Amino acid sequence: MKEKNMSRSELKRAAVLDSAMLEFQAKGFKATSMDDIAKRAEVSKRTVYNHFASKEVLFSAIMLKMMNLLCSFDHVQYNAEQGLAEQLTLLAKYEIAQLQNESFIAMARVIIAEAIHSPELIQEALANFNEQESPLAAWFNAAIAGGVLTTEHPELAVMQFISVIKGFCFWPQIVQGEAFPDADKIALITETAVQMILKQYG
């Protein structure tokens, strides 16, 4: 949704979410107060509570926002008329582009840290998210239904595909603070993920 089409209330909600992300990144969940978030968002504390009943609810909303960012593959749908390698390459490139978002990486660090210390924070968000079929899973399921990929465990194929990508384009940045791979390395990672799926399931 474009900002010009958002209502005043929606704009304030978005501002609170963005401000909370910045506060959590800077201070961590426990050290951040709703007052801090309201001040950064330039709204009243009451406005924050009108949209989010608690800091935990706000954290959950941010988690869902970040997860949905990774699952915005709507424009890469399975196409029986298009080659599998080409479609898998598009999926890999889009996933990598999302993972390269610095804001996402920063927020992921906060979420992972809080998941270790306060796992209950993420349970509800994960439960809601898991009820939805991700576009990536939908693509694999459609390819299997079309008979071009063969497996009785599509969720495993999806996990293998994404694990190759995240092994170079997510976890090293999260855990070790490594720089994101350059274009040549990204091309190699993409080709590796694609060929793995084609050889194992094609």
Domain 66-201 falls under CATH 1.10.357.10: yes
Give the C-alpha separation, 176 to 56, whole Å: 28
Region(s) of the chain under CATH 1.10.357.10: 66-201
Region(s) of the chain under CATH 1.10.10.60: 3-52
Report, in angstroms and rounded to the nearest whole number, the Rg of the chain calculated over CA atoms: 19
Model confidence pLDDT, tens digit, residues 62-92: 887 777 776 665 567 899 999 999 999 999 9
Q: What topology is assigned to 3-52 in CATH? A: Arc Repressor Mutant, subunit A (1.10.10)
So what's the pLDDT on residue 112?
A: 83
pLDDT at 107 over 90: no
Residue 145 banded pLDDT, cuts 50, 70, 90: very high
Model confidence pLDDT, tens digit, residues 163-191: 999 999 999 998 888 999 999 999 999 99
Percent of the chain with pLDDT over 90: 57
pLDDT at 1 over 50: no
* Contacts (Cβ under 8 Å, ≥6 apart) of 88: 161, 193, 194, 197, 198
Model confidence pLDDT, tens digit, residues 42-61: 999 999 999 999 998 898 88
pTM value surpassing 0.85: no
DSSP 181: P
